[in-house]
Amino acid sequence: MSGLATPLDPAQDRPSRAPSCIFVIFGAGGDLTRRKLVPALHNLAIQGLLPACFALLGVDRMDFTDQAFREHLDREIREFVGGELDDTRWRELLARSHYLRGDFLQMETYQRLATRLGGLNLELDCAGNDLFYLATPPRFFGEIAPRLAQAGLTSEEGGYWRRLIIEKPFGHDLESARALNRILHECMREDQIYRIDHYLGKETVQNILAYRFANSTVEPIWNHRYIDHVQITVAESLGVENRASYYEEAGALRDMVPNHLLALLAVIAMEPPNSFGADEVRDEQSKVLRAIQPLSPEEVLTHSVRGQYGPGILPDGTRVPGYRQEPGIAADSRTETYAALRLQIDSWRWAGVPFYLRTGKRLPGRFTEIMVEYRQAPTALFRRAVKHRVSPNRLTLRIQPNEGIGLSFNAKVPGPSPRLGVVEMDFSYADYFGSRPHTGYETLLYDCMNGDATLFKRADHIEVGWEIVEPVLDVWQALPPRDFPNYAAGTWGPEAGERLLRSDGRSWRPCSLCEGG
């Protein structure tokens, strides 16, 4: 399907340039900077959304001059822009890129940073707004923020703004997440802190709110009377790659559930906000997360599943080693690479509707999808006439890849006998709106420059996320797994993951449109 029912006027509501600012990246020599942040700045530049007065200032311990930093970026980012590099815009962006060498843990780095920012703001005649992105290993979050504050770089007394962006992991458990929030709040106000969950930067996730609240056919049946259950899957076909030391400490549950999967659940399950103001939207998300019933230790045993992949064969025929054979992984590692949960939201809307969450590495496909299964229609009318079972309607919200929405429904198969078949209506984002180069960070960086925190997580979201998973972590730690590895790479996870739904008379839906699915 393609073509818009109502054509869009591209000039209408065209977003304007972000306000002037200097974008400071701590960890400018690192992976996130070259793969995501600078390519996203390039993409914002080609859309005409970067501020008129803008500079990038990279901070790292690598031995660069401004010129060497520009050459490094020029070498590193081309493959990550997600499309054609616009040479003119890219040269302009490089000319606005600067570098400061320093150690994150030394106070003198921040004194020199303050001087450098003062100089750049004066030289460029910028407004004095500074945005600090901590593209660093997480152990530095609680070290950099206090030093910025001590150097006066979080103060907004001059009438300009100062903002800080950090990215997960936000702590390792509830206690460390609270401790990090405390440190950050000692250095700046909550509204200066932008906690990125890059899933929320995806158009399709934002589109869930539009789909739910801008269509009168959706919301009236978006509740326990019509919905049987919801499945949220974040599947990866990759293994642990080069993240062994982080992943051994984290595991699939910590790495994915308190942040990405619960962010998706909140968007699906939240009540309509009074407005799209940042706090109205985030208040509703916070409320629904707080309504999730914490699992008792007994429920953890029946409502959660963990797994670790062993050697196996991927759908393309490649043989891959098991998790315990990956470089940097202990030969007797007990870290889970697969986690599934059955959660229940204690609210009028969702009473009795299970939310099944699963995530895993080395599954047969890479996809992120939410499947909403409606209740079965009464079948009396078809019982005698139709040999085939009436299937429940299923709404699939595809977050990646093949972003879009699918709805399955029953239709009569042509012919003299009354047969039903399941057919699909499909909306594909790329077909309707085209696709433009993106890394997933463009909207988030642009929103932060504009002071719009709607898509960012608040301190309370982080803490409630940990409150939900902590009972599971506690039981899992008390009862070490005895059957790891319990699924072969290239399969859909452990048998217990299938049983989690089968015992409720349901099953995971296979991904139809994903790579390798």
Ligand X SMILES: NC(=O)c1ccc[n+]([C@@H]2O[C@H](COP(=O)([O-])OP(=O)(O)OC[C@H]3O[C@@H](n4cnc5c(N)ncnc54)[C@H](OP(=O)(O)O)[C@@H]3O)[C@@H](O)[C@H]2O)c1
> Which residues contact ligand X by CB under 6 A?
27, 29-32, 35-36, 60-61, 103-105, 135-138, 167
C-alpha distances out from residue 132 to 58, 149, 166, Å: 10, 12, 9
Q: Residue 30 or 311: which CB sits closer to ligand X?
A: 30
Q: Which residues contact 138 (CB under 8 A, 6 or more apart)?
A: 166, 168, 169, 170
Per-residue tokens: 361: 């590495």
Q: Residue 29 or 364: which CB sits closer to ligand X?
A: 29
Q: Residue 46 or 196: which CB sits closer to ligand X?
A: 196
Considering the complex, what minimum distance in angstroms separates the CB of residue 30 from ligand X? 2
Per-residue tokens: 75: 């070498």
Q: Which residues contact 208 (CB under 8 A, 6 or more apart)?
A: 267, 268, 370, 397
State the first-to-last Cα distance of the chain, in angstroms, to the nearest integer: 21
Listed residue (136, 208, 195, 517) closest to 364, CA to CA: 517
Considering the complex, what minimum distance in angstroms separates the CB of residue 249 from ligand X? 12
User: Which entry of 260, 303, 438, 461 is annotated as an active-site residue?
Assistant: 260
Question: Would you call the peptide bond into 401 cis, given omega within 30 degrees of 0 as the criterion?
Answer: yes
Q: Which residue's C-beta sits nearest to ligand X? A: 30
Considering the complex, what minimum distance in angstroms separates the CB of residue 170 from ligand X? 10
Please give the Cα distance from 225 to 348 (Å, whole number).
10
Query: Tokens 């460390």 label which residue?
Result: 176
Please give the Cα distance from 51 to 312 (Å, whole number).
49
C-alpha distances out from residue 98 to 49, 115, 132, Å: 20, 14, 14
Q: Is 260 a catalytic residue?
A: yes
Listed residue (161, 181, 162) closest to 171, CA to CA: 181
Please give the Cα distance from 494 to 509 (Å, whole number).
15
Q: Which amino acid is at 75?
A: R
Per-residue tokens: 19: 């306000």
For residue 296, is it left (φ>0), alpha (ψ between -120 and 50) or beta? Answer: beta
Considering the complex, what minimum distance in angstroms separates the CB of residue 49 from ligand X? 22
Q: Residue 238 or 411: which CB sits closer to ligand X?
A: 238
Q: Residue 240 or 500: which CB sits closer to ligand X?
A: 240
Per-residue tokens: 357: 């969450």
Considering the complex, what minimum distance in angstroms separates the CB of residue 63 from ligand X? 10
Q: Residue 137 or 272: which CB sits closer to ligand X?
A: 137
Considering the complex, what minimum distance in angstroms separates the CB of residue 166 from ligand X? 8
Please give the Cα distance from 337 to 101 (Å, whole number).
37
Considering the complex, what minimum distance in angstroms separates the CB of residue 66 from ligand X? 17
Active-site positions read: 260
